[in-house]
Amino acid sequence: MFPLSLHFEVSEVWDRAAAVLAALALISCAAPAGRTGTETSVAIVGATVVHPEREAANAVDRDRTIVIAGNRIVQDGPAATVPVPPNATVIDGHGKWVVPGLIDGHVHFFQSGNLYTRPDAADFNAVVPYAKEVERNKARLPATFKVWLASGVTTVVDVGGPFWNFDMRDAALRTPAAPRVLVAGPLISTIDDPPLDLGDPPIIKITSPDEARGLVRRELQRKPDYIKVWFIFRSEADLASGEPIVKATADEAHAAGVPLAVHATQLATAKTALRAGADYLVHAVDDAPVDQEFIALAKSRKVLYCPTLFVRSGYLLALSNTWKPTPAELRSADPQILASMSDLDRMPKDVIPLRVQSLITHPLPAQPTESAMKNLRVVWDAGIPVVMGTDAGNVGTLHGPSVFREMALMHEAGLTNFEVLRSATVNGAKAARRETEIGVVAPGRIGDLVVLDDDPLADLDNLSRIHRVIKDGVVYDPRELIRSIQ
């Protein structure tokens, strides 16, 4: 989650029965490429398969046939020896590349990515009242689910939102064309954020360890996948008062078997959060180089690290009216949200917030901080699992195809194409707490796959060149998914 200050400070279920998954896998997609309810198997024939869990030199298998029965992969072997089951849906994989379904480890469904979605950052209530924006986001969930699938993302982790986040997770389970969704409830925060409070706030200020434990207990009633702390640092006093709150939150969550995600973007807050019990740092350390103490704490806690490199740029581009869609966004974003991104061109000046007017006149450099970029390589080389995550839903960071902006920045920061793919599959599965189920192409794993038109290891942009997406064994045509959005 990313509310803006004047200096644009970066802020921020799975335990369902296999029978439910199997039933969902047999529900047909609205797209013509989807399976019918009577078909139970899919075969991808003659494809090149990338295995991101292996060493890079041994990660590619050519001319393979993958068979999915129900929602599970049952075979992955040489095309010459793997038979295609009768009545299977066959995908011609010759010239195609197959990777595991992508995983975004940091999203927020209560936000849309448009200009109106964070009035604490830029107040456009005079144009679109925030209450109307939130209701639109709820009503738009089926479309938002589809854009994730159309971008090859079969699992997402929503790390914080209102209590209706749990209803959103239930809606994803009921919706045929939807990613697998994990959620956290309201953020346990060290500061207030009143502009977002419509009666079911996504952020709740906590002033004591007892209050923190009480809110965790309320959230535990809804079976969250994570508990989340929003740890904001403005003075040294914030560290002293914040650490007991983070620790109480961690202790209460861990007692129930639920991991703790923490928004801590400064080195001081990140180290404090690790000492207090954080399991998942959902932003990069962006104010200073990580030091050996941070590395030691992170490794001892077996923490996951999600850098969210693009989200700051999304705000700066959108609010300076310099945001332009990428080719992937033109193909795969929600058309309604995409159209709204140029609304500043049509607004009367008197309804544009002064800070936005200032940004339009004097745009700031829209790029991650130097520390955020350099720390990514250091953290990776230290053996700390890095998870690809976008913070999608924040202004300028659109649900779905924002993953391609994020992965491009991770590559720019020094990760190889193969390492980026691992962060979005194998390591993403760790963030989703499903590392034995997803993130890998192998018999016994859930049938979440992306069939690409070209080699993602040669050019990372090829991850956006999607021929078909398979989630829980159901085949989707990304173009038909977008065409079906109303």
Does residue 54 sit in the same domain as residue 178?
no
* Separation of alpha carbons 11 and 8, rounded Å: 9
11 inside domain: no
> For residue 451, which of 96, 146, 154 has the smallest C-alpha distance?
96
319 inside domain: yes
446 inside domain: yes
* Separation of alpha carbons 254 and 353, rounded Å: 42
| Cβ(224)–Cβ(186) below 8 Å | no
Does residue 109 sit in the same domain as residue 196?
yes
Helix (H, G, I), strand (E, B) or coil at 97: strand
pLDDT in single tens digits along all 486 residues of the chain: 655 343 333 333 333 333 323 333 323 333 333 333 345 799 999 999 999 999 999 999 999 999 999 999 999 999 999 999 999 999 999 999 999 999 999 999 999 999 999 999 999 999 999 999 999 999 999 999 999 999 999 999 999 999 999 999 999 999 999 999 999 999 999 899 999 999 999 999 999 999 999 999 999 999 999 999 999 887 777 788 899 999 999 999 999 999 999 999 999 999 999 999 999 999 999 999 999 999 999 999 999 999 999 999 999 999 999 999 999 999 999 999 999 999 999 999 999 999 999 999 999 999 999 999 999 999 999 999 999 999 999 999 999 999 999 999 999 999 999 999 999 999 999 999 999 999 999 999 999 999 999 999 999 999 999 999 999 999 999 999 999 997
Cβ burial, residue 67 (10 Å; 0-12/13-18/19+): buried
3 inside domain: no
48 inside domain: yes
Does residue 118 sit in the same domain as residue 218?
yes
Amino acid at 88: A
Amino acid at 183: V
362 inside domain: yes
Strand-pairing partners, residue 462, are none
- Count: domains in the chain: 2
Does residue 453 sit in the same domain as residue 427?
no
* Separation of alpha carbons 12 and 108, rounded Å: 9
Does residue 212 sit in the same domain as residue 63?
no
At 388-415, the pLDDT tens digits run 999 999 999 999 999 999 999 999 999 9
Does residue 43 sit in the same domain as residue 57?
yes
At 166-187, the pLDDT tens digits run 999 999 999 999 999 999 999 9
| Cβ(312)–Cβ(10) below 8 Å | yes
Domain with 87, as residue range(s), is 18-101+440-483
The per-residue pLDDT for 234 is 79
* Separation of alpha carbons 134 and 116, rounded Å: 9
* Burial 433-471, CB ≥16 within 10 A → b, else e: bbbebbbbbeeebbbbbbbbebebbeebbbbbbbbbbbb
Helix (H, G, I), strand (E, B) or coil at 206: coil
The CATH number linked to 203 is: 3.20.20.140
Does residue 166 sit in the same domain as residue 234?
yes
Could you give the C-alpha distances from 80 to 66, 68, 455, in angstroms and in order? 12, 17, 22
* Separation of alpha carbons 373 and 284, rounded Å: 8
The CATH number linked to 31 is: 2.30.40.10
Residue 137: both structure tokens together: 């986001």
Does residue 314 sit in the same domain as residue 342?
yes
89-92 and 153-158 as β-strands: parallel, antiparallel, unpaired? unpaired
Residues 6+ apart with CB under 8 A from 31: 177, 476, 477, 480, 481, 484
Residues 6+ apart with CB under 8 A from 351: 124, 126, 127
Does residue 92 sit in the same domain as residue 149?
no
Cβ burial, residue 63 (10 Å; 0-12/13-18/19+): middle
* Separation of alpha carbons 479 and 483, rounded Å: 6
Q: What would the 3-class secondary structure string for 139-193 be?
A: HCHHHHHHHHHHCCEEEEEECCCCCHHHHHHHHHHHCCCCCEEEEECCEEECCCC
123 inside domain: yes
For every residue of 231-294, DSSP letters joined together read: ---SSHHHHHHHHHHHHHHHHHHHHTT--EEEE--SHHHHHHHHHHT-SEE-S---SS---HHH
The per-residue pLDDT for 6 is 32
> For residue 252, which of 200, 202, 206 has the smallest C-alpha distance?
206
Cβ burial, residue 367 (10 Å; 0-12/13-18/19+): middle
The per-residue pLDDT for 7 is 32
| Cβ(145)–Cβ(428) below 8 Å | no
Does residue 476 sit in the same domain as residue 368?
no
200 inside domain: yes
Does residue 211 sit in the same domain as residue 314?
yes
Does residue 252 sit in the same domain as residue 397?
yes
